[in-house]
């Protein structure tokens, strides 16, 4: 059991080191975030709360697809064979899930700051929104990480990740929009706790599915 955790930690460390040294991916996604939000600001100005919320989550969706796609596509098949020989499938996918979740949370917080800076600040409960953003970023990244693992086997097409991902991400997006709406006004949203639990439950479901199914993808 401890050796499993050591493997995961080692793989995580490898990913983080790669990010720090080969700064292309991290800064690439950061620039993508900044450019997209900037273009959006020029197009939309300072929208009202509901539109702000909707635009925010749509941007998160596209950022997630790009961020996660990059993290899987940069491994070529020779390196994958090396990982296969030194670590188990479960450890590999857990390390990828954790890494992408952390990456997505960083990107989400960055885009939240940029949104508040450029597109106005309609938030009445900023901390609540921040928590929702972290939960939402994690949820999105979990689904897309697994789909990127699938697409990595299928000629590594980034568009394929989006095609497979968008229908599956719909319940999470709907839940996130409803939950985050409470941060904008003092609306008595019934079932707020229930929806957050539902989101967390969906995350657990995705993680367990990924853990069960990834070993089948792994062998080649």
CB of 34 to other proteins, least distance (A): 30
Of the residues 109, 178, 185, 192, which one makes contact with other proteins according to CB under 8 A: 178
Match 């989400």 to its residue by tokens: 108
Question: Does 86 participate in binding other proteins (rule CB under 8 A)?
Answer: no
User: How many residues interact with other proteins (rule CB under 8 A)?
Assistant: 30
Task: Assess 200 for contact with other proteins (CB under 8 A).
Answer: no
Judged by CB under 8 A, which of 39, 44, 163, 204 binds other proteins?
163
First to last CA, the chain: 25
In angstroms, give the least distance from the CB of 17 to other proteins: 30
Residue 153 found at the interface with other proteins (CB under 8 A): yes
Give the three-class secondary structure for 45. coil
Contacts of residue 24, Cβ cutoff 8 Å, sequence gap at least 6:
none
Q: Kindly state the smallest distance separating residue 217's Cβ from other proteins, in Å.
A: 6
Structure tokens at 147: 């789909």
CB-based contact 123:181 (threshold 8 Å) = no
Question: Which burial class, exposed, middle or buried, applies to 156 when counting CB atoms under 10 A from its CB (0-12, 13-18, 19+)?
Answer: middle
| Interface residue with other proteins, options 94, 140, 183, 206 (CB under 8 A) | 206
Euclidean distance between CA atoms 144 and 198, whole angstroms:
19
Q: How far is the CB of 171 from other proteins (least distance, A)?
A: 4
Site for other proteins in 129-148 (CB under 8 A): 143, 146-147
């Amino acid at each position: 059991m401890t050796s499993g955790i050591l493997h995961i930690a080692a793989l995580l460390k490898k990913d983080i080191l790669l990010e720090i040294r080969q700064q292309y991916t991290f800064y690439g996604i950061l620039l993508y975030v900044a450019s997209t939000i900037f273009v959006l600001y020029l197009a939309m100005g300072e929208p009202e709360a509901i539109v702000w919320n909707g635009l925010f989550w749509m941007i998160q969706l596209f950022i997630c697809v790009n961020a996660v796609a990059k993290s899987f596509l940069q491994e070529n098949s020779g390196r994958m064979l090396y990982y296969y020989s030194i670590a188990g499938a479960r450890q590999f996918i857990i390390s990828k899930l954790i890494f992408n979740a952390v990456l997505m949370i960083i990107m989400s917080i960055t885009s939240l700051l940029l949104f508040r800076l450029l597109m106005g600040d309609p938030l009445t409960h900023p901390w609540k929104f921040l928590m929702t953003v972290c939960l939402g970023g994690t949820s999105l990244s979990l689904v897309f990480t697994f789909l990127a693992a699938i697409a990595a086997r299928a000629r590594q097409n980034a568009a394929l990740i989006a095609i497979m991902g968008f229908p599956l991400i719909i319940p999470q997006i709907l839940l996130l929009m409803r939950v985050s709406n409470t941060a904008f006004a003092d609306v008595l949203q019934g079932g707020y706790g229930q929806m957050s639990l539902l989101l967390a439950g969906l995350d657990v479901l995705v993680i367990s599915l990924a853990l069960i199914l990834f070993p089948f993808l792994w062998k080649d």
